[in-house]
A and B are shown apart, each in its own frame.
Chain A
């Protein structure tokens, strides 16, 4: 098992009732597995931030790894210790 930390920002935060969630997942886990685990840990995210299938994100929500790379390939396998950010990307107007 490997530990991943998911940080939640903006309107994701109150839905998860937590600033961050620790997830223990298989070492081969993908980002899709992270989303499935998230739906289990924080059911209020399902249907609102997570897609109805629980394996995708509703627009405009995105994932970012360690504050650096934005990712949309949910088949990607995060590395042990990665911090996964869940947010609506900053925007103004």
Chain B
């Protein structure tokens, strides 16, 4: 069944041409799908040294290899490109129905190259591809664009992924939104889409999807469905991830006031528990999902009543405690505006928090903010800045560049509190209180990320002392990265990860039943290692340097200010030790480069000639 034909749709916007190409039969064995497949296609289509916002940068959409089947939680698609925020790999996942739409149209992936002068949207109607003017959609928000295209095509079942005004204006952390509130948010994939003049991709997929073993798949999926209703997923079903606020606050691991505190006096007022009790509108789920983690809330603030937004923990922490805002009404408003304009909520919140600290320290004044009081705690100012960033208006133009570039331009030592790694703003897990996570942030291929390196799980277990740096964390972080790479490439929702008794053999079995690609547990595990190395290879080819595997100045010069870990430090020496330990665990050189033998062992030998040239140039 490995002979099931799998196709790629290659779209050249400059030439206004689309062609269907067969995918190599071994590609789904080596790279699975979604993030893995997208990484391999990026390596194939992206020249070294390309400007991320130039037509030469490919934008890859890769489906879950098990989307549109019965497999629960296999509904994400990956968007992979060279990130305009980091200059490294940008791989972002989004859930809901778009991944299924890609496969139902007959493809595993869509690669978009080139650019168009006139704002355009693509309509993929199974094997037919239409280039349509989007001039009338210019400036429209993400949801409005979706609705407008459905009306225009007179088909409510058409699935749309679109950018908002932020993507059109090349805000470096703009995302691509689909199915209402779902987003490929991180890394600025929406800015790349905007640079191509591509407003949206609409898909109508009506073709059947072949599976390896329908009877076997049915049996296995029903078993998994039952497990997903047990205690493993209860927190996601009931409270969603906003339930993390009070626990992280109690553990002193909640980033507050731009990482100046780890506990928040207003935590109760922005807790998942309170959201659930007072603000919940409904819960929703992705295609074939049995968990339904998506919580939609309503809130009132500033004269606006009943504004609705999807809030997860990351959006909540970034637009709330990190900006010292304890008013759920304003947090919901800010989140709604991020979704409408097409912005990543983490990068938006972290960048605004950086600006708030600049304001606090007098580096930015009311003159710079056009009179806006950008003090910590001002929820109305946060919501207003979201608007200004999306319009690149006034200070918003600087903030639209993200914390790394903005701090370089503003100067005054503000890079010390620009909370990013490789240019990607840090998520809501305080690295000084979670030392394995600190390592994960530092070495992450796409920058500081809790999803590609979920090493906070190690820290919040009995395996380690989370406040301590020590040898051995390198291998732990490697294993977490490889595991995440497999999940993100299958792509199985991470909220199901505890539903497996023995993940690799069980997941390999489901993958075989769904795709016909039979593999052993060890082979699946190796695919995760291969994907992580492929990402690193891409980064090396794009100019990665050893000193990029690092954390912001604040993290390594200021001890934890409060919470159970108060006084604990993460020193540069500790981080250097852990980074070296990680390189060693991967079999890389002490400088973090990939030796030829490692590439050969992983079936990536074809990358060696280019890497060798690059590494010698270094």
Contacts and interface: CB of A to CB of B under 8 A. Distances in A.
Contact of A10 (B239, B461, B465): B239
Contacts of A48: 231, 234
Contact of B247 (A10, A68, A69, A71): A10
Nearest to A87: B247
A90 B239 contact: no
Interface string B250-272: 11110000000000000000001
Interface string A30-69: 0000000000000000001100000000111110101111
Contacts of A10: 235, 239, 243, 246-247, 272-273
A48 B232 CA distance: 10
A2 B563 CA distance: 25
Contacts of A81: none
B241 interface: yes
Interface string A1-44: 00000010111010000000000000000000000000000000
B34 to A, nearest CB: 14
Contacts of A68: 467, 564-565
Interface string B278-316: 000000000000000000000000000000000011100
Interface residues of B, number: 43
A10 B313 CA distance: 13
A91 B234 CA distance: 12
Contact of A11 (B239, B248, B451): B239
B461 A88 contact: no
A59 B231 contact: yes
B499 to A, nearest CB: 10
A81 B235 CA distance: 28
How many interface residues does chain A have, given as a range?
Answer: 20 to 34
A19 B617 CA distance: 60
B251 A67 contact: yes
Contacts of A72: 462
A93 B428 CA distance: 12
A11 B243 contact: yes
Contact of A60 (B239, B272, B498): B498
B147 to A, nearest CB: 28
A92 interface: yes
Interface in B399-447: 427-429
Contacts of B457: 89, 91
A90 B466 CA distance: 14
Contacts of B248: 90
A88 B235 contact: yes
B251 A58 contact: no
Contact of A92 (B232, B314, B563): B314
Contact of A67 (B241, B497, B563): B563
Nearest to B276: A14
Nearest to B277: A14
Given A67-B252, A92-B451, A58 B244 contact: no
Nearest to B237: A11
A45 B427 CA distance: 32
Contact of B246 (A9, A49, A64): A9
A66 B564 contact: yes
B231 A49 contact: yes
Interface string B331-368: 00000000000000000000000000000000000000
B241 to A, nearest CB: 5
Contacts of A90: 243-244, 247-248, 251, 253, 313, 429, 456, 460
B250 A70 contact: no
B495 interface: yes
A93 B497 CA distance: 10
Given A10-B235, A11-B234, A58-B231, A92 B250 contact: no
Interface string A69-83: 111110000000000
Nearest to A89: B460
Contacts of B312: 92
B475 interface: no
A25 B235 CA distance: 29
Contacts of B252: 67
A59 B232 contact: yes
Given A59-B231, A67-B252, A89 B239 contact: no
Given A9-B247, A64-B251, A89-B247, A71 B462 contact: yes
A92 B453 CA distance: 11
A83 B467 CA distance: 19
B582 to A, nearest CB: 22
A89 B461 contact: yes
A60 B485 CA distance: 22
A85 B498 CA distance: 21
B209 interface: no
A2 to B, nearest CB: 21
Which of B232, B235, B239, B467 has the largest number of chain A CB atoms within 10 A? B235
B207 interface: no
A13 B231 contact: no
B238 interface: yes
Nearest to B234: A11
A93 B251 contact: no
Contacts of A13: 273
Contacts of B478: none
A84 B427 CA distance: 27
Contact of A93 (B234, B272, B494): B494
Which of A60, A61, A64, A88 has the largest number of chain B CB atoms within 10 A? A88
Contacts of A67: 250-252, 563-564
B493 interface: yes
Contacts of B40: none
Interface of A: 7, 9-11, 13, 48-49, 58-62, 64, 66-73, 85, 87-93
23 contacts: A9-B247, A9-B250, A10-B272, A10-B273, A11-B239, A13-B273, A58-B230, A59-B232, A67-B250, A67-B252, A68-B467, A68-B564, A70-B461, A85-B247, A88-B234, A89-B457, A90-B251, A90-B313, A91-B244, A92-B427, A93-B241, A93-B454, A93-B497
Please name the 5 residue pairs, one residue from A and one from B, whose CB atoms are nearest each other, closest first: A93-B494, A67-B564, A90-B244, A89-B460, A10-B243
